[in-house]
């Protein structure tokens, strides 16, 4: 059984009991977690994970929450938030970055240091840990392309996975329960001339995705689109005539049919049912089974990527 006394003594960062999770997610829905722990550093995180694992308490790692749908009943377990793991150390052309660092913060630091290599992720708002977990894609680049190593906790032990252990195509060799502590990225120093040209091309600053806000991207766009007309998930959904479809407070974005918006007072169940409708409609019309970008928390199985899977 969990002793809050032990927990408060063990973990240096803030620990909260029965913490509502809605405000930690981009879509702003979902119930409470039994425990929410905000480790101050890597050692703190390892101690917290170890304690909960030994007590048999399910764990969920929270980054920025941009890809999460938390059950309205919440999560029966402990959420470990990485937001205080925010260290960035740059040496020559290598940046060692903690998992909780947000991509826009990292990219700004790299710009200041005249380093390039992760610019393709300019419009993404998630954490480094979340991007690595999902092997985020920006255009034709994958975040793994620039990784030299990833530090993880595997079965309670720290491990550094080197680049050669990660070269397995677009899938990271990480199991669901492994926690990413941080990573090393190999970058390239650019000249002042290149930097000026780069600024002119992008208008100086990253352009936020228009779909950002109280919304979530639903399906993962396959790297190689394999449908007859190479349609993206959003195009397939549109072709089913579902543009603007609404269930309760959840509606399909009018500008991107692969994004669900919390139009006001949505529950996670509204979002879930809308996702189910999109998925079933596309499968029936095109025979295409769309993969979720969303991570579902506290649904069929905690943290399961796809509870529709049979």
Please give the residue ranges that form the binding site for ligand FAD (CB under 6 A): 26, 60-68, 82, 99, 124, 126-127, 129-131, 133-134, 136-138, 179-180, 209, 211-212, 215-217, 293, 295, 303
Q: Residue 53 or residue 209: which is nearer to ligand FAD going by CB?
A: 209
Q: Residue 190 or residue 215: which is nearer to ligand FAD going by CB?
A: 215
8 A C-beta contact, residue 216 and residue 130: no
CB of 50 to ligand FAD, least distance (A): 15
Nearest to 27 by CA among 252, 282, 307, 309: 252
Q: In the block, which residue shows the tokens 């677009």?
A: 170
Q: Residue 97 or residue 236: which is nearer to ligand FAD going by CB?
A: 97
Q: Residue 102 or residue 187: which is nearer to ligand FAD going by CB?
A: 102
CB of 48 to ligand FAD, least distance (A): 13
Give CA–CA dist 122/141, Å, rounded.
12
CB of 196 to ligand FAD, least distance (A): 26
Torsion sign (Cα): 25, 134, 117, 141? negative
Q: Residue 111 or residue 217: which is nearer to ligand FAD going by CB?
A: 217
Pairing of strands 259-262, 250-252: antiparallel
| DSSP secondary structure string for all residues of 68-82 | EEE-TT-EEEEEEE-
Q: Residue 12 or residue 195: which is nearer to ligand FAD going by CB?
A: 12
8 A C-beta contact, residue 64 and residue 127: yes
CB of 90 to ligand FAD, least distance (A): 20
CB of 61 to ligand FAD, least distance (A): 4
8 A C-beta contact, residue 276 and residue 296: no
Give CA–CA dist 180/91, Å, rounded.
21
CB of 38 to ligand FAD, least distance (A): 13
């Amino acid at each position: 059984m969990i002793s809050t006394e032990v927990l408060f003594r063990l973990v240096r960062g803030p620990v909260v009991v029965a913490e509502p999770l809605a405000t930690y997610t981009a879509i702003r829905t979902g119930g409470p977690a039994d425990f929410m722990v905000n480790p101050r550093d890597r050692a703190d995180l390892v101690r917290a994970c170890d304690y909960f694992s030994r007590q048999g308490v399910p764990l969920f790692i929270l980054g920025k929450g941009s890809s999460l749908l938390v059950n309205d009943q919440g999560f029966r377990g402990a959420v470990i938030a990485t937001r205080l793991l925010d260290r960035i150390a740059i040496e020559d052309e290598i940046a060692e970055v903690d998992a909780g660092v947000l991509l826009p913060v990292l990219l700004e630091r790299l710009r200041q240091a005249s380093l390039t290599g992760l610019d393709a992720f300019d419009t993404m708002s998630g954490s480094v840990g979340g991007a690595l977990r999902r092997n985020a894609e920006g255009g034709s680049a994958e975040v793994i392309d620039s990784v030299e190593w990833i530090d993880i906790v595997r079965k309670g032990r720290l491990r550094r996975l080197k680049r050669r252990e990660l070269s397995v195509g677009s899938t990271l060799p990480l199991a669901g329960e492994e926690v990413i502590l941080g990573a090393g990225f190999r970058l390239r120093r650019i000249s002042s001339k290149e930097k000026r040209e780069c600024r002119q091309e992008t208008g100086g600053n990253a352009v936020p995705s228009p779909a950002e806000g109280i919304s979530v991207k639903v399906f993962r766009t396959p790297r190689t689109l394999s449908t007859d007309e190479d349609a993206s998930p959003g195009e397939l959904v549109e072709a089913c005539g579902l543009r603007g479809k609404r269930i309760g407070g959840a509606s399909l974005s009018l500008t991107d049919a692969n994004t669900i918006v919390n139009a006001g007072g949505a529950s996670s169940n509204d979002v879930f049912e809308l996702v189910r409708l999109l998925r079933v409609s596309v499968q029936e019309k095109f025979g295409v089974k769309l993969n979720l970008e969303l991570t579902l928390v506290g649904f069929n199985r905690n943290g399961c990527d796809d509870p529709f899977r049979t």
